[in-house]
Amino acid sequence: MTDPQLALASDIAIWASLAVLALALISFSAHLAVTGAARERHDKVKAREKVRVGVGADGEQPADTVDDDRATGLTDSTTPTTAAVEPPTVSHPAEVTRRWGVIGLQLTWLATFGVVGGTILRGLSVQRWPLGNMYEFAIVAASFALIVFSTWSLKRDRLWLGPFVVLPVMAVLGAGKIWYTEASQLMPALDNTMWLSIHVTLATLSVALFIIGAALGVAFLLRDSAEKRSRIRGWLAGLPEGDKLETMTYGVHIFAFPLWTFTLITGAIWAEVAWGRYWGWDPKEIWTFIIWVVYAAYLHSRATSGWTKRHATYVALLGMLCIILNYTVVNLLITGLHSYSGVST
């Protein structure tokens, strides 16, 4: 049975969360713009001071020159040695407020509760795991992406990452609304609570991590291009150095790839339970494997000396493109055993 009132409450929660995320995107963008502009001014002043003061005859920095990391840290310059052991990812001029970024993070947390709440209500309305169609896949993936980003931002300064995560999450929720499916029961092949919860939960969690990885990859490519041209201006100055961004990109994919591997394995097991074979070259199975191959190629190219980090990052973004094609084209236009998008075509 389906509870229409709970389903309606779920829809309202998702729509309200989209509106809150739009406000969070504005706040994060303002934070990045303000921080970048202040950082750019700070670097210009520092460069002029270096020219005026000069470098000591022995090649060492003059004693009255303040270390950049301590002068521009997020905390007060009197912070003890922990700041020296683990400096902030982005050095901020002391006079720059983080107000806009903090507001953006607070709004993101509010939206996270809204999306997670809407997802739970959707599941309660149909009395099953909300993972049976494209719309439900979208809201669960968005929930995971928001939880990961919001939690990560509590431990480290990741306010600069806000626009790069919130925008694609809004796109995912928007796509889910475009291909919205009324709350209903599952088709027989999917009516297996254990494998539905294991296989599709792994898929949504790995996709959420891939989204964050792609966001970091785009940030890295933009910052790296600016560094190569020596034109780090505007909001780009508010991002961490390119090398740090690339390292974070790689780190997120290191976590996401094993999850996608288990997605592939559990899908094969579920296929044997539902259809009596582990692999049948169904379009969805093929594309799941293609995505696995592309991300495996990224990790391999990242560890290969003949590849630059930029070229390897392009491979990672190709993997995200394959995920998008798998979610849209394969679900909507290609007929197969996995044609359960729930969208009338």
Residue 316 maps to a domain: yes
Mean pLDDT of 319-330: 92
What is the pTM assigned to this prediction? 0.81
Task: Give 121 or 88, the one with higher predicted confidence.
Answer: 121
Pick from 219, 167, 159: nearest CA to 25: 167
- Predicted local distance difference test score (pLDDT) of residue 83: 39
Q: Per residue in 36-45, pLDDT tens?
A: 888 777 666 6
Q: Is residue 338 part of a domain?
A: no
Q: Is residue 344 part of a domain?
A: no
339 found inside a domain:
no
Kindly indicate the confidence band of residue 63, based on its pLDDT and cuts at 50, 70 and 90: very low
- Ranges 9-13, 26-30, 61-65, 150-154: which has the least confidence: 61-65
Q: Which domain holds residue 36?
A: 4-333
Q: For residue 244, is it within any domain?
A: yes
Number of domains in the chain: 1
Residue that is written with structure tokens 């929720």 in the block: 173
The answer, yes or no, to whether residue 87 has pLDDT greater than 50, is no
Residue 318: which pLDDT band, with cuts at 50, 70 and 90? very high
**Domain assignment of residue 269, yes or no:** yes
341 part of a folded domain = no
Considering the domain boundaries, does residue 343 fall inside one?
Answer: no
